[in-house]
Structure formats: structure tokens, C-alpha cells
Amino acid sequence: MQEQDKAGGVRFAEVDSDRDGQRVDNFLSARLRGLPRSLVYRMIRTGQVRINGKRCKPSTRLNTGDTVRIPPAPRSSGEDASVPESARAAVRAAILYEDDDLLVVDKPAGMAVHAGSGLAWGVIDALRQDRPGQFLELVHRLDRETSGCLLLARNGAELKRLGAAFRAGEVDKFYLCLLDGRLPQDLLEVDAPLARIDGGQRRLVEVAAAGKPALTRFRRLEALGESTYAEAELLTGRTHQIRVHAAHLGMPLAGDDKYSDRDALRKWRRRGLRRIFLHAHRMVVPRADGTTLAFDAPLPDDLRGVLDELHAPGRRGEPVTAA
């Protein structure tokens, strides 16, 4: 990648083939490591970032040969995050699969996927610190408290190909979740458009007629008293989709601090749940040669413990065969 410095600290970077098709916000985050993503978005939206001299949006995708104007940023943004060895070891131990094109991590709950929003580092920072000079980019994201399969690309061609596969709905994504309520049937699809809620510091989403199409398929695995252990299949990929669709059904995810009430949170904490019950347990990814790769991440011990508690005497559920 060619860069040219100008007066006032402005830089101009030419996009090489490895970054072809990458979103400009992700491109900038890789160049300005340590800078909160909120500031990256602000620089883009205020016109400080330009592509070939023109304003852009965070979601604008780059092409080989584009010239990106990168404005001055705080000095600390150019420094790599210092990730504790304990966290780096945890990420190394969580690698499920790796080849020349991609890397799959069983992301631990409580660990962000990248720095930002007051966090100095995330999974990708831990991997980059372990593998200096290697190409590593997130293909998608998981919320901080969500555990499970996380895909990273190891070269630009794979980043572009997998990004297109996600957008086209060609990647199968399955999550294990606990619904705070009884799913009325073995298989239930929620087809409800989603839109971001403006205002406030908390990023929230709601069902709205003017929102983007969103489709989630819930499969009942087991009825557990007044709750349901289920698999959620994402047929689209909207922010907080499973969480909002579950709440839309009137049965928010157990431990969800954004879309359930305080009484429900206290109830689940008494049962040993300290975070949202949501785990990306299976992903099926198309390869360039027409084959597929499937990745499975087992349910973590903390979530398994909650199910065991619900099966305890006096709380025993009713096993149900998955649809």
C-alpha cells in the first residue's frame, strides 16, 4: 500500500488488491489502530475522509487503485494495542480452524472482537500481536457478550469473497439461545424488519415497518419450564437480530441487558447466568472451489451450567425433539 504524507498530518493511501472490496471504516480502523470506532465514524461522516476526493459513508467499499484521504488522528491511534498475555493465550487456545485463507476462533464471552467504545483491544488485536506483519481482518462481528464462531480472513481475496458470501446470504449461521418464555411450536420464523433507534448512547434496534428486512428461524430444542432452549438460524444479518426478534415474540433472551427488564435479569442472575445466553455454535462457509466448510463451537461451561440448573429437581424441563 502506497502512502503519501501531506502538510498538516493528512495522509493519502492508495488501495492495493488485498483491500479491494473492504469497507472504508474497516480500512481506516486497520490504519488507525487504537482509535475508537466512534471517532472513525465521525471522521467519515464529517467529510474528513475522502475516496478519490469525494465524500463517502462508513459502508462504502473500496476498489483497487482508490486513493483514500486519511485525516490527522491522535498520536496514540498509530500504536498497536498492548494485549495481556493471558488474553492472547485464551485466543490462541480458542482457534477452531486455520488454513492459508481463513481463521476461525471460538470467541470467548466478554471479549470484544476489536478495540473501540472505551476498549483498548479485542480478539483481532490479540491475533495481530501474536502474528506481526500477517494479514488478518474480521469478516463479520459478534457482540462482546456473545460467544462462538468468529471468522477472520488471512488475505484480501478471501476477505472480499467471504464478505460477498455473507451479504448474499450464502453463509449458514446457527446460534444456541435460551428464550425467556415458551416457544409455542417446534419451528417458528420471525419475519420482521429492523431499524436502529436514533438518540441515546446505547445502540438499540427495534422492529419497524420502514426497517431493513430481517428473518430469523427459531427451532425448539427443549422446553424448560417457562423457558425454551432453542437454536436460532440467521437468514439475514442485522444488528441484534436474534435479540430483537426474540423480544418481539415476547420472550427476550435470558440475560439480555438491552431488550429485557430488570426483574428478568435479576431472575436469571439468581440462576447463575451472568451474561446473555447466546452462542454462535455452528457456521457453514462456502469455499472458492464450490465445497463448504462447517465449524462447530461447543456450548460454553457457563451456559451449560444454566441448563443444568434448569434441569435440577423442581425445575425439570420437558425434552422436545428439534424440528
> What are the catalytic residues?
143
DSSP 8-state assignment for residue 61: B
**Which run of H or E residues covers position 217?**
strand 215-224
Distance CA 281, CA 288 (A): 23
Handedness of CA 121, 126, 128, 129 (dihedral sign): positive
Q: Phi first, then psi: what are they for 35, rounded to 5°?
A: -80, 125
Angle at CA of residue 46, ends 238 and 160, nearest 5°: 45
Task: Provide the H-helix boundaries in 146-200.
Answer: 156-167
Residue 230 near residue 245, CB atoms below 8 Å: no
* Closest alpha carbon to 69 in 46, 51, 44, 43: 51
3-state secondary structure of 42: helix
* Closest alpha carbon to 287 in 155, 171, 138: 171
Distance CA 231, CA 278 (A): 10
From its phi and psi, is residue 133 left (phi > 0), alpha (psi between -120 and 50) or beta? left
Residue 175 near residue 279, CB atoms below 8 Å: yes
Residue 42 near residue 185, CB atoms below 8 Å: no
Q: Phi first, then psi: what are they for 174, rounded to 5°?
A: -125, 135
Listed in sequence order, the residues at least 6 apart from 46 whose beta carbon sits closer than 8 Å to its beta carbon are none
Residue 244 near residue 194, CB atoms below 8 Å: yes
